[in-house]
Structure formats: C-alpha cells, structure tokens
Amino acid sequence: MDLIVGNYHQDILCESFLDLATNRIRVRPLPNQGLSVNLVIECSSKERKLHPIGTIFKTENVKVCKKPTGRIYLYAKDKMIYKV
C-alpha cells in the first residue's frame, strides 16, 4: 500500500503498545494489512489509556500525514478508535 500524504485508508486494525523511546502508549497497525507496523496512528489518548497495552482497535478512516521533521504517520479521523 502506497503511503501518499493526504490519502486515506479505511478499516485499519491496530493495537496499542508501549513506545520505549517516549514511554507513551501508542497505537500501530497490525501486520498483513499492507501498512508498516512501524507507523504510529495518532488517535484518542483517552482510549489508549483506558485499555491495557496490546488491546486491538479498529479505526474506520486514517489519513497519511507527515511531520515537519519528515516522519510519516497516520491520523485517525476525529481521533476515533474502537475497541474490537
């Protein structure tokens, strides 16, 4: 799956994990969806903290974005993720 800034991807399954570099709970895509598991999905911090690390979520609509420093990430529309 090509990651073109501004494009949207639908129905992504993802999981929460502890990012050791920042000591924060983050969300990344699950394998075998055509997206790198190294991408971070920006989403609701409330939902991330409400559930244990390793919780599986689904997001309906994510946009490919790029930080000014050059890092590509995914942004969940309205920051919404749903526990599966």
How much is the pLDDT for 1? 60
Instruction: Give yes or no for residue 74 having a pLDDT over 90.
Output: yes
What mean pLDDT value characterizes the chain?
92
pTM: 0.89
Q: What is the mean pLDDT of residues 31-45?
A: 93
Contacts of 40 (CB under 8 A, 6+ apart): 19, 26, 27, 28, 73, 74
Q: What is the mean pLDDT of residues 18-44?
A: 94
Q: Where are the domains of the chain?
A: 8-83
How much is the pLDDT for 37? 93
**42-72 per-position pLDDT tens digit:** 999 999 999 999 999 999 899 999 988 878 9
